[in-house]
Chain A
Amino acid sequence: MAYRWINTLTKDDITPKAAYLNRRQILAGTVGLGAIGLAGGASAQDALEPNTLEEITSYNNFYEFGTGKGDPAANAHKLQTSPWSIKVDGMVDNPGEYALDDLLAGLTVEDRLYRFRCVEAWSMVIPWNGIELADILNKVGVQSGAKYVAFETAVQPENMIGVQRRVLDFPYVEGLRLDEAMHPLTIMATGIYDEPLYNQNGAPIRLVVPWKYGFKSIKSIVGIRLTDTQPPISWNVANPREYGFYSNVNPTVDHPRWSQASERRIGGGLFASRQDTLMFNGYPEVASLYEGQDLTVDI
């Protein structure tokens, strides 16, 4: 069924660390060359330029640590990530409480430069390091009859200000249909820019599903369950009118709060222009997963 995703981007495509740490200064120094930059911008529009580590680690939604975009960076240091184990249960051959290292042992960590599109109509480009979820699921053995994968985020009430304030009904839960979970684009990320995940980005391990809105990419996972029924997902429980199970990036279906037709790429400053949002966030290879489904209904 699923093929191996061919990563056409190599390490050479990832901005060297020295450069991304200094990009702000470099940009400041090239303001005078702005006209040249603009002229070249149109042709380079599709080349993915990753956001800086600073941007990726300081503008986050992680409601366990507060609702402000800077709150996770300020508060997530309290998250205890060691030791970390993941409970794998449901319709699997080898259920159990796995130490993180044991679960990932022998699996390949790959570089994946993905677009990341938030339902709030902003986006980033992030150089993840991660393992295909399919590899993990094959390792634990998915039983026939399993149709969905449910995920759960850690709850550490004493360390999580957002949990104390009951912003949502925690623990945060998410889910994918099995074919979505097995798709080679779907990864469990353990790093960004070859550094371990920062806590505010969902350390030590998180889901990344690049063709879906960011809230589907659940952080700091402690539970994976295989089921034959569609699992509940937190935002749908909180507001069923606004958030559906699939939540595929779809510029033709508006969210009640945000137009999804366009987005703003983070990093453009105060005068950043909007750009058109792409169907499936620019990953048309997933379209076949939804053949026969009406995506204006299955939102």
Chain B
Amino acid sequence: MSVSQTINGGLRRVPAWTIYIVGAVYAVWEFWRALNQIGPYLVEPINVLERAYGEIALILLVAGLMVTPLRKWTGVNLIKFRRAIGVTAFFFVLAHFLVFAILDVQSVSRVWTEIVKRPYVTVGMASFLMLIPLAVTSNNLSVRKLGAATWRKMHKLTYPAAILGAIHYLWLVKGFQLEPIIYILVIVGLIATRYVSSERRQQSA
């Protein structure tokens, strides 16, 4: 039995809802640390919590995009977790937005001003809006109602949403910083693999 088959066999016993549990525990854990100003939250918990939720959202979007290439290249099959990964990513984007709106800028008019006036907030908001219909339709009923083809097409919105999320991060940092650039390169790379390999399939067909 190959390594990937062993891994797949092990994963078969792990239910997909574990992702939601781990995500929720992590979100509450970070909030609790921020509330009690522990560790990185010692001095300025609001900004640090905002960043923590934003960054985990970006990581989960990357993880969701990795499922297909990972299966193609290594045979490890995480497809049954993908919906949970995506929906959890959405919840962290939502949490990130709520910390921004309620704890950071603290008023509806300021939220609006920030969205309109600051391009990095505008693209972040656009990414958030794109993820809403995806989160709402992440259930079997929606797949049936929309039809698999339409549903799949619609869920390609994750690509621009992930790219905009990374641009949001890049735009927000000051000076030359490596981390947001790495996110952009990884996301663009993961999306590109899909188109490169589908072209190749078309050529050979």
A259 touches B113 (CB 8 A): yes
Tell me whether A270 and B35 are in contact in the complex, defined as CB-CB below 8 angstroms, given that A55-B43, A264-B46 are known contacts.
yes
Mark each residue of chain A from 157 to 176: 1 if its CB lies under 8 Å from any CB of chain B, else 0. 00000000111100000000
Q: Say how far A174's CB is from chain B's closest CB, in angstroms.
A: 15
What is the predominant secondary structure among interface residues of chain A facing chain B?
Answer: loop
Contact partner, A270, options B45, B106, B120, Cβ 8 Å: B45
**Is B2 close to A, CB under 8 A?**
no
Tell me whether A269 and B37 are in contact in the complex, defined as CB-CB below 8 angstroms, given that A58-B42, A257-B118, A274-B106 are known contacts.
yes
* A265, B34: Cα distance in complex, Å: 16
- Residues of A near B43 (CB, < 8 A) are 54-55, 58-59, 69, 266-267
Q: Say how far A49's CB is from chain B's closest CB, in angstroms.
A: 15
A254 touches B174 (CB 8 A): no
**Is B176 close to A, CB under 8 A?**
yes
Chain A 268-284 residues near chain B, CB threshold 8 A: 269-274
Tell me whether A70 and B40 are in contact in the complex, defined as CB-CB below 8 angstroms, given that A167-B177, A264-B46 are known contacts.
yes
B177 touches A271 (CB 8 A): no
A167 touches B176 (CB 8 A): yes
* A166, B48: Cα distance in complex, Å: 24
B175 touches A273 (CB 8 A): no
Chain B 72-116 residues near chain A, CB threshold 8 A: 103, 105-106, 110, 113-114
* A63, B40: Cα distance in complex, Å: 18
Contact partner, A63, options B48, B106, B110, B175, Cβ 8 Å: B175
- Residues of A near B45 (CB, < 8 A) are 269-270
**Is B24 close to A, CB under 8 A?**
no
Chain B 17-51 residues near chain A, CB threshold 8 A: 34-35, 37, 40-49
Chain A 225-246 residues near chain B, CB threshold 8 A: 238-239
**Is B1 close to A, CB under 8 A?**
no
Q: Say how far B40's CB is from chain A's closest CB, in angstroms.
A: 6
Q: Say how far B50's CB is from chain A's closest CB, in angstroms.
A: 11
Q: Could you say which interface size class chain A belongs to? A: 20 to 34
* A11, B178: Cα distance in complex, Å: 45
Q: Could you say which interface size class chain B belongs to? A: 20 to 34
* A34, B137: Cα distance in complex, Å: 45
**Is B153 close to A, CB under 8 A?**
no
**Is A106 close to B, CB under 8 A?**
no
**Is B200 close to A, CB under 8 A?**
no
- Residues of A near B40 (CB, < 8 A) are 70
- A58's closest neighbor in chain B, by CB? B43
* A122, B46: Cα distance in complex, Å: 11
B46 touches A166 (CB 8 A): no
A270 touches B34 (CB 8 A): yes
A168 touches B117 (CB 8 A): no
B177 touches A272 (CB 8 A): no
Q: Say how far A153's CB is from chain B's closest CB, in angstroms.
A: 14
A254 touches B46 (CB 8 A): no
Mark each residue of chain B from 117 to 135: 1 if its CB lies under 8 Å from any CB of chain A, else 0. 1111000000000000000
Of the A-B pairs whose beta carbons lie under 8 Å apart in the complex, a sample of 27, sorted by A's number, is: A54-B43, A63-B175, A67-B173, A67-B177, A69-B48, A70-B40, A167-B175, A167-B176, A168-B175, A238-B175, A239-B174, A256-B118, A256-B119, A257-B118, A257-B172, A259-B105, A259-B110, A259-B113, A259-B114, A259-B117, A269-B35, A270-B35, A270-B45, A270-B46, A270-B103, A273-B106, A274-B105
Known: A67-B173, A270-B103. 17 other contacts (CB 8 A): A54-B43, A59-B42, A67-B175, A67-B177, A69-B43, A69-B44, A69-B47, A165-B178, A167-B175, A239-B174, A254-B117, A256-B119, A259-B114, A264-B46, A266-B43, A270-B41, A270-B45
A: which residues have CB within 8 A of B? 54-55, 58-59, 63, 67, 69-70, 122, 165-168, 238-239, 254, 256-259, 262, 264, 266-267, 269-274
B: which residues have CB within 8 A of A? 34-35, 37, 40-49, 103, 105-106, 110, 113-114, 117-120, 172-178
Q: Which 7 A-B pairs have the closest CB atoms?
A: A59-B43, A167-B175, A270-B45, A55-B43, A168-B175, A270-B34, A270-B35
